[in-house]
Amino acid sequence: MSLEYLLPLLMLFGINTILSSSLNVINGYCGLFSMGHAGFFAIGAYASAIVTRDLIPAMALSSPTTALVLACVIAMLVTGLVGYLVGFPCLRLAGDYLAIATVGFGEIIRIVIMNTDFLGAQTGIPAIPGITKLWHVAAAVALTLWLINNLMRSSFGRAILSVREDEIAAQAMGINVRFYKTFSFVVGALFAGLAGALFAHMAQFISPNNFTFIISAQILLMIVIGGLGSQLGAVLGAFLVTFLPEALRFNQTLSENRMLFFSLMMIVMMLWQPKGMIGIFSRFLDRKEAPKS
């Protein structure tokens, strides 16, 4: 296995990890069924590409790391803002209705981009400086996981969890449910924006086809396979969804039908292991600990 083959794959794994752990804040921790994560991913990618293409093209050549950091920060801010604007009205909806609204949001983003000449319309944005290095991705992943982990261990994280557990009880205990729904939505959007920025400067070319509904479904798949509401599960899910298709490459039929394979996996997981891969591990651990008590 050559390095040229492995390197982009590792970067993709990192980007997928950021995507899955950010969606995990919304779906896993806050219990909001969001299916438009590719929309935020797209906004991050486009916002950052415009920054390095139009605002600081010279800097992208002279000091790429600084330029990338700048692009990431701006992408995150833009995505976070959109997350707020979308979340504020959408989060009045609950359950299935919210899921449908977020599917719509993801598609709207894609279609708007497709019809905006400034954003390259259907042809996309070519020749984005390829300044994302593996260590950038690794640092971004570490930062994302650390920040989300700290958030979830704090009182703010507990407030988010309480909304998932029981909205009525959370309200009665003084938690502003609408605020924390919007808050977790914005946090999820922010980090999806970061993933988008890293992706744009790795792929060097982005088009609306990179951000279809299938991508949203794939991110959702990662956290469902890994285990909803578990950070380790989100990483595990990202790993599987990134590398499993590669493992299937030896056989063309299997490789071409990998989505079928994924769907099957999702159904099996939902039926027998709703807590995901992480659920299997923790059950194993529980069994080991059981004799003590």
Partner 1 sequence: MSLLKVDDLTIRFGGLVAVNKFCFEINQGELIGLIGPNGAGKTTCFNMLTGVYVPTSGKIEFDGSEIQGIKPHRISARGASRTFQNIRLFKEMTAIENLLVAMHSERGYNLFEAILKLPSYRKREIALREKALGILRAVGLEKAAEIEAGSLPYGEQRKLEIARALATGPKLLLLDEPAAGMNPTETAELSNYIRNIRDQFKVTILLIEHDMSLVMKICERIYVLDYGELIASGLPKEIQNNPRVIEAYLGGAIGEEAHV
Q: Are 37 and 216 in contact (CB under 8 A)?
A: yes
Stretch that binds partner 1, among 87-95, 102-110, 154-162, 265-273 (CB under 8 A): 154-162
Residue type, 153: R
| Residue 142 interacts with partner 1 (CB under 8 A): yes or no | no
Q: CA Rg, the chain, in Å? A: 19
Contact between 218 and 15 (Cβ < 8 Å): no
Of 264 and 285, nearer to partner 1 (C-beta) is 285
Residue placing its CB nearer to partner 1 in the complex, 171 or 207: 171
The distance of closest approach from Cβ of residue 198 to partner 1 in the complex, given in angstroms and rounded to an integer, is 20
- Whether the CB-CB separation of 49 and 207 falls below 8 Å is answered with no
Count of positions (residues) in the chain: 293
- Tell whether residue 171 is a contact of partner 1 (CB under 8 A): yes
Please identify, using beta-carbon distances, which residue of 126 and 274 lies nearer to partner 1: 274
* Nearest by Cα to 83 from 26, 145, 168, 3: 26
Among 72, 141, 159, 203, binds partner 1 (CB under 8 A): 159
Could you count the other beta carbons within 10 Å of the beta carbon of residue 268?
11
Return the residue of 43, 170, 186, 202 that touches partner 1, per CB under 8 A.
Answer: 170
Q: Which is closer to partner 1, CB of 97 or CB of 146?
A: 146
> Does residue number 154 form part of the binding site for partner 1 (CB under 8 A)?
yes
DSSP 219-230: HHHHHHHH-TT-
Q: Do 191 and 183 form a contact (C-beta atoms < 8 A)?
A: no
Residue 131 binds partner 1, judged by CB under 8 A: no
Figure out which of the listed residues 174, 252, 272, 293 binds partner 1, where binding follows CB under 8 A.
174
> Using the rule CB under 8 A, is 290 a contact of partner 1?
no
- Tell me the two tokens of residue 108: 């709207």
| Positions that interact with partner 1 (CB under 8 A) | 147, 150-151, 154-156, 158-159, 161-162, 165-166, 168-177
